[in-house]
Amino acid sequence: MLVTVDQDKCVSSGQCVLNAMEVFDQRDEDGVVELLIPEPGPEYAQKTRNAAAACPALAIHIEE
């Protein structure tokens, strides 16, 4: 699984962190998404998919 995020689209809602805190974080200053693990292992795969599905800005892209 390969994950990319578009920080220009992110609206700082935090849904990604709520769903997969191991994979995503938010910048302290403005809440914009930060990608912690670009290639999450199987143990984080479903959480990462949930995060992408929950993102209101469609800012998370996954290649399986």
What the block records as the tokens of 50 is 């949930």
Number of residues that bind ligand SF4 (CB under 6 A): 15
- Least separation in angstroms between CB 22 and ligand SF4: 14
Which ranges constitute the DSSP H helices of the chain? 15-19, 42-54
Other C-beta atoms within 10 Å of 56: how many? 10
Mask for 6-35, x = binds ligand SF4 (CB under 6 A): ----xxxxxxx---------x------x--
**Does the footprint of ligand SF4 cover residue 55 (CB under 6 A)?**
yes
- How far, rounded to the nearest angstrom, does the alpha carbon of residue 63 sit from its chain's CA centroid? 13
What the block records as the tokens of 8 is 């220009």
Residues that bind ligand SF4 in the complex, under the rule CB under 6 A: 5, 10-16, 26, 33, 55-57, 59-60
